[in-house]
Structure 1
Amino acid sequence: MTWQTVVAQPSGLGESPFWHPDEQMLYWIDIPGRQIHRCNVFMGTVQSWAMPSEPGSIAPACTQGQGSGLVIALRDGIYRAREWGAELQQLVRAGHDTATTRFNDGKADPRGRFWAGTMYEPRDKSVAELFSIDCRNSLAPAVERKAGGAIIANGLAWSPDASTVYWTDTPTHTTHAWDWDADSNAMANRRVFHQWPGKPAGWQFGMSGYGGRPDGAAVDVQGNYWVAMFEGARLLKLSPAGELLAEIPVPAQCPTMPCFGGDDLQTLYITTARYNRSAAELQAYPESGCVFSMRVDVPGLPVNFFED
């Protein structure tokens, strides 16, 4: 398996990639660049859309079963755009202090709700939370707090049978799993899915002894959990039981999130970061911030659409 460079123009912090099956395009965001990008991977063309604040995550959306634009988590709330470049309509205003907290990793669930977690930027308290937003059956969005006690929300994903939800707190190097009832949206039996060793004190780029911390994730049709290890220059494949199945080196020290795409969902894409990275790291990994792809043997799950 060999990585190919899909987008050579780097993002500061690429995140939230997904493959749009109707448009046959790859979407992702640049958080500090305040941009949403989409790429026609066959033509190599990229379109960019400026946001008023940092986008933490995006998902494709549909209305009455017809694809229509995006749902977008910005610093201060969840927004709906009916088409590319359209006016942003606020669905939910953030309940957090936007001076210290913003929305981060998020996705639509298999029933069409949008989930988004928060990131507490001072990183000295575990006050980040996870919310779901349901716009399917009511005039006003139904917002539920689903979990909390984190610093930076990441790693959101669901199992193929929609019975398990995963969520990561990146600074504590911990991914949790819950039993999940898709219809009632109830979570139970919280447990540690995988715990990684912490970052050694004083560790810097070029030193040994650190494998990175869990960032964004995706799940394949066999239920394996693929997680990008930020500062670890690797992508890990974990079994549904949390066992390490494979470790794949990535051509950037800071991979951020994988997704599956292409007609057969056997092209694995991964976003990466270069924002605030050292000169030594960028010299060693000059394509940091670019989007990469490789072919894999097992297909991934298709992206879920937000429904309203």
Structure 2
Amino acid sequence: MKKSKYYIPAIALLLGIGTLSSCNKDKEVSPANTTKPTSEQNFTTAKATLEVIEELQNLNDLAMTVSMDGSASPQATGRIAAIKELPCGTVNHQVNEETGAGTITVDYGSGQRCADDVLRKGKIIFTVTVSAEGNGVQMNAEFVGYEANSKKLDGHYTVGITINDAVNSMIYTYDFKNAVLTYADGSKISWNSNYVINFGYDMGETENDTPIITWEMTGGITGLNRQGKAFSAQITSPLSLDVYCAYGITKGTYLLTAEGYSEAVYDFGNGQCDNLATLTIDGKSEQIPMHQ
């Protein structure tokens, strides 16, 4: 059985994979009081929910990158005041050399356009604590003037990481409480969310062995949309990621609901590697391309 040092290259491989789907940033339409929304309005509302999911997934990916960068890793040696350039933004470590506890700041300055074509600004400061057993990390995020494409993000965001070397696995938990996404026009989306990722790895016994990586996500979000109407997005079939597929998630479904609108199912497929997910409402489907 491989020792824990192998999970770092495994995560590095994982982080090279794309995130959840890209969706059209259509404006959300207020539900009519007495008439059922049209199919087009249903699709527009569902895509607005997918926009929030994508915002969360981008943040989760960043947290995973920071945690596995070295300083926040339970069995890795920390670095004091180490500064490293990310693909977008600069990360500054202020951590204990032996434990990895401390703060990690991701700084986008006055604005940086990232590879996913999102303009980010401000800072995210992660305060890191390590469990007494040394196999777990908790990261609490503080958002300091942080914006993504002129949308300001606030709330209490916590990432938990537990490593089990006995079975070559890691569990990531992502919790967002009292989250608020404020748009340039002053409208807001608020929510609470919880996601769990089960990550398994077997790097093989030799360098020539093909690594076996498993990645599965469960959970969802509930909240109020820009019109103050209740919405939710719940994973009804676990999302599975194929690390050998350029598009990332290849299987699993979300159930999207919004007050006054028809339910929608967002389906990543049956495991085939492609760049399409399918959004189905009232028997009508639309395919949505994903990031590569």
* Pairwise TM-score range, normalised by the shorter structure: 0.3 to 0.5
Q: Whose helix proportion is higher, 1 or 2? A: 2
The structure with the largest alpha-carbon Rg is 2
Name the TM-score, length of structure 2 as normaliser: 0.33
TM value normalised by structure 1: 0.32
